Chain A
Amino acid sequence: MGGGQSHNQQGPQGPSSSHGPNNGSVLATKKQQHENANKCSPAKVKSCLRTFFAHLFSHIGLCILIVGYTIAGALMFEKLEKTYEMKLIGNRTANFKKLRLHYVSELWNITEQFNVLYEMNWTSAVEKELREFESRVVATANTAGYSDVKDDLHWTFSGALLYSVSIITTIGYGNTAPRTAWGKILTMFYAVIGVPLMLLWLSNIGTLMANTFKFAYSHACCISSNPSSSSRSVQTKRTPSSKTEPSSIQVKYSVSAMTCETQVVQAQQNMHQRALNRREQRAKLRSLDPSAKQVLMECAEYNVNMDQDERSRRILHQLHSDSGGNGGEMLNISGMDEESSDEVESVIDMRGVTRGGDQSDLRGLNGGRGGSVMEISVNSNGMEGTPSRIPLLHHKGGGVGGIESGPDLVEVDEYHCGGGGSGSDGSASPSLNKYHLPRTEQRVPVSLVLTFVVLYIMGGAAVFSVWEKWGFLDSAYFCFITLSTIGLGDYVPGVSFGSAGTKEGQAQLIVCCLYLVLGLAIIAMSFNLVQEEVAAKVGISIRQEQEEGKGIVVVGSGHPTLVSIVNPSDYANMTMISLKSPKSKAISLVGYTLN
């Protein structure tokens, strides 16, 4: 159904260009509203500046903070642990020297013992000594903690840097580990502050990189929907109606929308700001897209058939009274008074919003929106309570070009409604319609993101295999273990035998740190890019499986997306969704489910 796209074409300019005596009052109202908006100009400028600085500081500031924190940690740990390690090495060297001396003298004794050298006896005696020596070495290695008993220093500056990075990213290689008591205590505190800091930074960077990636992707691909998408948000800002031709009925309803707004504006002076917002929200509860409207109509019919629900009856009346006019395309519910919108809200209820939006402050609700669509704002507990691992990424509602057009699309997981009972003989619904959410930015395909990540891992593997003289598989294994933050520590660059103390070894360690941090940022970015897709796909696929059980309509703020609608008449329990506005924000969603 191409309706999705056509809705957003630039229709005529809406009520402002329409006809009749109503025009003047409409214009006047609009002007008044714009003035009101302009009155806040200094405050607006201030808030703009504030957001600008917030963005600036959040990205750059966090980067600097992280780098500084890591370096500070490196210096701190180096100071704490170096002296102890040198002492330990000194002891160890001395111990081993003594051990060697002991065994060599044993060997000498053996050699002296045999006046005539019987090779067999001598060899077996020597072997026995060697085995003893070996078990002593093994025991020492186990208890001393360092499994390599070489004399290379672990706690150089770059070693300490890698150590700090491995703490705050929770990789935790373990090849370098604190031995002193103070080192351990400090490690714990360092981690407590550093790990959340790192997660914050990762989520920040992940969002930033994801946006960049999406931008680059959408422009690189020269997809034809691009021009419309970039101008779309501008359009929705300007036109209140998304119909191609104005009709008098439309004007009438738009006017009543404006009237409502006028009333609201007048009431503004008397009401508390918050209640005002809420009222404005409800006043803006308006036109449905045709498919959504059809759903609403079917549901209302069903409800009326079932139990003569008064509210449904009123809504049905409203809907039917619209259909006569302009083909039933537009319903301006704001024509109703407050109570009626409450009724609509109670008729269509939605619970269980889980993902896709954050708590928007309905910035888009200012006058320019014109209220041609249902606004959506979501009270979302979207972030699961998983500790530490997933960066807490959230949806920004910004559209292309940075226009803050308000909250983004919402998908509903499940919802229940009043009503129920046997199926009605509702008319056949439109067949399965699925079209993309034009509001969202160009979605990057999951495969591309995954390929990018895999390429990064392979690239790192190639570099490390050349540098460290590991095999390719071992290097790839190392990269994977590092980037997944498992961090076994069996392979660590720069501390391979013989190169730890050298300049080259130090450089390798630092490169490892950079690779690590960049890789984690890329993983954060890919999470950000992928989670929408995966959630949508999984959600949709599950729903498609149950296609005879559930029909879901998701109404986006700008364009409804019909995921599926099924014929409700087949099934035993049809329930309808009523729209509810919870205390904090309005949720306007139309949908129905069949149990």
Chain B
Amino acid sequence: MSDLEYERRLWPRIKNAFRVLVAFTFSHVGVCGLVVGYMICGAFLFQMIEKQEPNTQLEDVRKIRNETANELLSIVLMFNTLEKEEFFKLANAAIKNYTEEIVNAINLGYEGEPLNNQTHSTSVPTENVSWSFSGAFLYSLTVITTIGYGNVAPRSPWGKIATILYGIIGMPLFLLYLSNIGDILARGFKWTFARCCQCRWNCVKPRRYLDNGQLDEEAVPDEEEQITVPISLCLALMVGYVWGGGLLFANWEKWTILDASYFCFISLSTIGFGDLVPGDAISSTPGREDEIQLSFILCSLYLLLGMALIAMCFQLMQEEVVATVRKIGSRLGCSRK
């Protein structure tokens, strides 16, 4: 083989290898890894962007508190002789204002300052759990799956821009993941189901006889592609998963079973209200950040697996529906000229 010929054969081989690599990355195992990697990168990104926020918020709240205190002082100093009702009325108004300001801050993500921090230092009181790594990971997950809880949301402008860009790339990627995984799982499930079906047929087979006494050979089911998984099974699987998740979260988060199932359903359907989010119940008591982080991770895994299962069920149901419709159509609409 001359050198030229060798080169001409080598280059397409390289290209071929590259093509194989790309094909692998965008299919099956590759895309899973890609999605998880993308979420991890997103977690780091958001963590970096958003973690400075609590400090400024703390400062803001402190400023508000100072202002309120000053206002109260001026109230007290206003009167030479202080009447109780007057004081109560004015102080009430001041406190009411203060409440509103705090609530505004809470809406913006303020999480309170623990009471044992007596000094006026600028240290971050507790680690801000929402934007820890696992919190940011959950946030990335909610963005690319479009669940979008909203209990943690970016506050800084850069965070918002980053969310937009992250979503634009991440959402199609996640859809790719879903379609791939759904495909694999559907095939695997159908294969398993077909095996079980055949086992049943084989057990039943000896009893089928034609009228003339011969064994009905055609009672064996057709090739595997003809077997479609019944819709009821898919539905049962989905309901079971939601229910199981409900039990799990009820146990872990100390919610009621209804609340936990409701949470699972709302998350898996990607509605994602965010009124119930794992880690909520525990977050008010400080010192249990590890548990909270663990519950975030658990939630992420549950969601990833759940959405893959739902993709699989949708695919199976779709095939069944198409096959049924075709059957009906062919029976009804033969004279379609």
Query: Measured between C-beta atoms, what is the minimum distance from B226 to chain A in Å?
Result: 10
Instruction: State in angstroms the CA–CA spacing of A119 and B77 once bound together.
Output: 10
Stretch at the interface among A228-236, A239-247, A337-345, A482-490: A482-490
Interface assignment of A162: CB less than 8 Å from any CB of chain B: no
- Give residues 133-172 of A contacting B (CB, 8 Å): 133-135, 137-139, 141-143, 145, 147-150, 166-167, 170-172
- Give residues 120-152 of B contacting A (CB, 8 Å): 142-143, 146-151
Instruction: State in angstroms the CA–CA spacing of A170 and B171 once bound together.
Output: 15
Number of interface residues of A (CB under 8 A): 87
Interface assignment of B305: CB less than 8 Å from any CB of chain A: no
Cβ of B171: which chain A residues have Cβ within 8 Å of it?
484
Instruction: State in angstroms the CA–CA spacing of A486 and B182 once bound together.
Output: 22
- Give residues 212-251 of B contacting A (CB, 8 Å): none
Q: A134-B102, A486-B167, A570-B8 are in contact. Are A171 and B271 (CB under 8 A)?
A: yes
Cβ of B313: which chain A residues have Cβ within 8 Å of it?
387
- Indicate if the CB atoms of A173 and B280 lie closer than 8 Å: no
Instruction: State in angstroms the CA–CA spacing of A143 and B88 once bound together.
Output: 28
Interface assignment of B92: CB less than 8 Å from any CB of chain A: yes
Q: A117-B77, A147-B106, A166-B271 are in contact. Are A104 and B284 (CB under 8 A)?
A: no
**Per-position 1/0 for A538-559, Cβ under 8 A of B:** 0000100110110000000000
Query: Measured between C-beta atoms, what is the minimum distance from B238 to chain A in Å?
Result: 10
- Indicate if the CB atoms of A37 and B337 lie closer than 8 Å: yes
- Indicate if the CB atoms of A126 and B72 lie closer than 8 Å: yes
- Indicate if the CB atoms of A172 and B103 lie closer than 8 Å: no
Closest residue of B by beta carbon distance from A163: B273
Instruction: State in angstroms the CA–CA spacing of A303 and B195 once bound together.
Output: 39
In the complex, number of A-B residue pairs with CB atoms less than 8 Å apart: 240
**Per-position 1/0 for A17-45, Cβ under 8 A of B:** 00000000000000000000100100100
Interface assignment of A127: CB less than 8 Å from any CB of chain B: yes
Interface assignment of B307: CB less than 8 Å from any CB of chain A: yes
**Per-position 1/0 for B169-198, Cβ under 8 A of A:** 001000100110011001000000000000
- Indicate if the CB atoms of A481 and B311 lie closer than 8 Å: no
- Indicate if the CB atoms of B179 and A477 lie closer than 8 Å: no
Cβ of A388: which chain B residues have Cβ within 8 Å of it?
269-270, 310, 314
- Indicate if the CB atoms of B167 and A184 lie closer than 8 Å: no
Cβ of A105: which chain B residues have Cβ within 8 Å of it?
88
Most central of A191, A366, A386, A549 by chain B CB within 10 Å: A386
Closest residue of B by beta carbon distance from A176: B273
Interface assignment of B100: CB less than 8 Å from any CB of chain A: yes
Closest 4 pairs between A and B when the two form their complex, measured CB to CB? A385-B315, A172-B271, A486-B148, A174-B273
B contact residues vs A (CB 8 Å cutoff):
8-9, 12, 15-16, 19, 61, 65-66, 68-69, 72-73, 76-77, 82, 84, 87-88, 91-92, 95-96, 98-100, 102-104, 106-107, 110-115, 142-143, 146-151, 153, 157, 160-161, 163-164, 167, 171, 175, 178-179, 182-183, 186, 258-259, 261-262, 265-266, 269-275, 280, 283-284, 307, 310-316, 318, 326, 330, 334-337
A-B contact pairs, 26 of them (CB 8 A): A104-B87, A105-B88, A108-B91, A117-B77, A130-B68, A132-B115, A137-B103, A150-B103, A167-B271, A173-B273, A174-B272, A177-B273, A191-B269, A273-B335, A385-B311, A385-B316, A387-B310, A387-B311, A388-B310, A477-B164, A481-B148, A486-B148, A489-B148, A490-B153, A548-B15, A549-B19
